């Protein structure tokens, strides 16, 4: 199973990728985690990435692909989370996979209406005492967590709407790209976490 998973912030990409990896034995490859690990390790690639970050520039696609390539090659089954984010990156990934002599089995699009994502993200609160994340409506803090409870700056509605705008403009066109390839799988991310996991497993033929 070689799968990419994408969707707007708040759709649960990382959660689902982790759960599906646990259930199938596939490797969960998060490009965000790889970037942080390279920087922390102080590798040549990490230093290069840090230079882009320090300048406030986007890390070039070829550097991300170069970083991910060994992980894509060393295991037969993986879920790629966080890349590609646009069609140029999708093409760069296709070229890298072609170089490695492997193909992509499916592209999973996690879908949810903007209003549901705004409600989900804007309601998040983090306990400064325990580090746990709660939701003001769906998962309020228990009485034994003293707090205080803070809201991340990027969970303010204005910030969420801005990120969603970027997603619709840059990342959502991946649906057309992968649909044309015949490997697009659209999943309703508003359902419960176990239901979404089951939908994805069925879609990629790993449901038992």
Give the catalytic positions in this structure: 13, 85, 124, 152, 163
Q: Which residues make Cβ contacts (< 8 Å) with residue 160, sequence separation at least 6?
A: 9, 10, 117, 118, 121, 122, 154
Question: Could you tell me where the DSSP H helices lie in the chain?
Answer: 13-24, 31-41, 44-55, 61-74, 87-100, 114-122, 157-166, 174-181, 193-203
The SS3 assignment for 18 reads helix
Dihedral of the alpha carbons of 52, 53, 58, 63, in degrees to the nearest 10? 60
Rg of the chain over CA atoms, in angstroms?
Answer: 18
**Cis preceding linkage at 147, omega within 30:** no
- Biggest CA–CA distance in the chain, Å, is 55
At 46, list the tokens: 């990490």
Contact 23, 206 (CB under 8 A): yes
Whole-angstrom distance, CA of residue 160 vs CA of residue 118: 6
């Amino acid at each position: 199973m070689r799968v990419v998973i994408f969707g707007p912030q708040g759709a649960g990409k990382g959660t689902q990728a982790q759960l599906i990896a646990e259930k199938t034995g596939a490797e969960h490859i998060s490009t965000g985690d790889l970037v942080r690990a390279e920087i922390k390790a102080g590798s040549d690639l990490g230093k290069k990435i840090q230079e882009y970050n320090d300048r406030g520039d986007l890390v070039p696609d070829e550097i991300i692909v170069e970083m991910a390539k060994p992980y894509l090659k060393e295991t037969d089954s993986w879920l790629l989370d966080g890349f590609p984010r646009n069609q140029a990156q999708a093409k760069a990934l296709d070229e890298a996979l072609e170089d490695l002599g492997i193909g992509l089995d499916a592209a999973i699009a996690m879908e949810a209406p903007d209003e549901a994502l705004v409600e989900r993200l804007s309601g998040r609160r983090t306990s400064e005492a325990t580090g746990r994340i709660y939701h003001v409506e769906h998962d309020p803090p228990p009485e034994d967590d003293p707090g205080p409870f803070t809201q991340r700056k990027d969970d303010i509605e204005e910030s969420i709407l801005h990120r969603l705008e970027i997603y619709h403009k840059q990342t959502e066109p991946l649906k057309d790209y992968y649909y044309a390839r015949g490997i697009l799988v659209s999943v309703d991310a508003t359902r419960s976490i176990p239901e979404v996991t089951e939908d994805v497993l069925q879609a990629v033929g790993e449901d038992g």
